[in-house]
Amino acid sequence: MLNYKSASEKDLQSEYTKLKDEYDAFCSKNLSLDMSRGKPCKEQLDISNDIFDVLKSDSNFLSEDGFDCRNYGLLEGLPEMKRIFAQMLQAPEENIMVGGNSSLNMMFDTISCFMTKGINGCKPWLLQNKIKFLCPVPGYDRHFAITEYFGFEMINIPMLKDGPDMDMIEMLVSSDDAIKGIWCVPKYSNPQGIVYSDSVVKRFASLKPKAKDFRIMWDNAYCVHDFCEKPQKLLSLYDECLKNGNEDLPIMFCSTSKITFPGAGVAAMAASDNNMKIIKDKYKYKTIGYDKINMLRHARYFKDYNGIVEHAKLHAKVLKPRFDTVIDSLTKNLKETSVAEWVEPCGGYFVSVDVMPGCAKRTIELCKQAGVKLTCAGATYPYHTDPNDSNIRIAPSYPPMQELKIAMEVFCISAKIAAIEKIMKQ
């Protein structure tokens, strides 16, 4: 296979002509393939169908402490669900609050709460002159959308092989009291699939922010979404913060959205007593209690945390072949060309590909014209601005396997065409 960076102009032109013929052939097929979002496929959704049989009209609707789940109340959620989420979030059961179906909604509400309620004796963020948020990149577009919505200045933090650049984070938060928080996806980061190392977690726990109201938004969305037999374990940030007297730093989130049903799962958060007091004070005006019947359904279906882990293994059997297909296609078609790099994850929902700088938009445009939908270029950066125009997030979970194989063929051809065009312009 041709190494594009060292190839002659004649060889590149010949390669380009061949690729264009292959590309045009795909365009003529009127494809409609979607690799844009991390949605579970039908096979994954079918795994959880039995959950609908757990509760029936003649069921006992009492929680383990005797609460009638059909009624108002129980703002914090069912104790049996709190116990499961405590193990998922690696935090004490008494510091868990169970919400509705969306952890993203709980994240939005948390930021909204701190905008209007001061924490640690500070003014509400809304009343402070300038507020900033740290954003590890590439990262999750919906995180960045929340802080953009509330008017934060977002600062890019490069992701390294073991997590975000902690030297940069420590320097920034210790010197600038306008920095109010950081977004984190600590296990199988979105989109790179990186697991934060023990060292990174410990450095987060020992941060000394200049802002007393600085918070770590710890979105552990993929805490049980492992592929490999011996998955890398994530150190408990909550425990490490306790050791450092920094228990107020983290606010942690997760859900069953990609374990049961994205539209009908259960979400939860964990926070210190001080943080939870402020957050619950907002929630008590917002709701009398979330869907406790759905909580009860999930609690009885899984029974305990081990039930969650075993259920996630069923998802892994569906997802692993899809991720293998993506990695195999990238390796076969792009490795020797030297125009793309990627991270091979051991879990999560995405594959992060860095094409040649200046080529992401063009690659995605070519894919779109050929009928393959990807997340927009720049989506993995704040303000949708990738300074290198390089990163592309691939979501392998949703398309049927045969469609995924075709979509990856189109992607690789598009990436190569974009790279040759860029090289020949130079």
**β-strand 179-184 against 132-137: which pairing, if any?**
parallel
Cβ atoms within 10 Å of 323's Cβ, excluding its own: 24
Is 49 within the bounds of a domain? Answer: no
Q: Do 256 and 399 share a domain, yes or no?
A: no
Q: Do 35 and 71 share a domain, yes or no?
A: no
d(CA 390, CA 370): 20
Is 50 within the bounds of a domain? Answer: no
What would the pLDDT profile of 181-226 be if each residue is shown by its tens digit?
999 999 999 999 999 999 999 999 999 999 999 999 999 999 999 9
d(CA 151, CA 383): 11
52 φ/ψ sector (left φ>0, alpha ψ -120 to 50, else beta): alpha
Residue 104's pLDDT is: 97
Q: Do 256 and 324 share a domain, yes or no?
A: no
Residue 395 makes CB contacts below 8 A (sequence gap 6+) with: 35, 36, 37, 38, 39, 349, 350, 375
Q: Do 33 and 66 share a domain, yes or no?
A: no
Q: Do 355 and 286 share a domain, yes or no?
A: no
pLDDT interval class at 352 (50, 70, 90): very high
CATH number of the domain encompassing residue 109: 3.40.640.10
CATH number of the domain encompassing residue 35: 3.90.1150.10
Cβ atoms within 10 Å of 177's Cβ, excluding its own: 17
pLDDT interval class at 229 (50, 70, 90): confident
What would the pLDDT profile of 53-94 be if each residue is shown by its tens digit?
999 999 999 999 999 999 999 999 999 999 999 999 999 999
What would the pLDDT profile of 138-180 be if each residue is shown by its tens digit?
999 999 999 999 999 999 999 999 999 999 999 999 999 999 9
In the chain, how many domains are there?
2
Cβ 161 vs Cβ 344: under 8 Å = no
Q: Do 329 and 194 share a domain, yes or no?
A: no
Q: Output the CA torsion sign for 353, 357, 363, 365.
A: positive
166-170: Cβ within 8 A, 24+ apart: 166/199, 166/200, 166/203, 166/204, 169/134, 169/203, 169/204, 169/207, 170/203, 170/207
Is 52 within the bounds of a domain? Answer: no
Q: How many CA atoms lie within 13 A of 65 on its CB side?
A: 8
Cβ atoms within 10 Å of 423's Cβ, excluding its own: 17
For residue 163, give the H/E element and its range.
strand 163-164
Structure tokens at 423: 């090289």
Domain that holds residue 85: 61-303
pLDDT interval class at 30 (50, 70, 90): very high
Looking at 250, 277, 303, the residue that finishes a domain is 303
Cβ 138 vs Cβ 376: under 8 Å = no
What would the pLDDT profile of 357-415 be if each residue is shown by its tens digit?
999 999 999 999 999 999 999 999 999 999 999 999 999 999 999 999 999 999 999 99
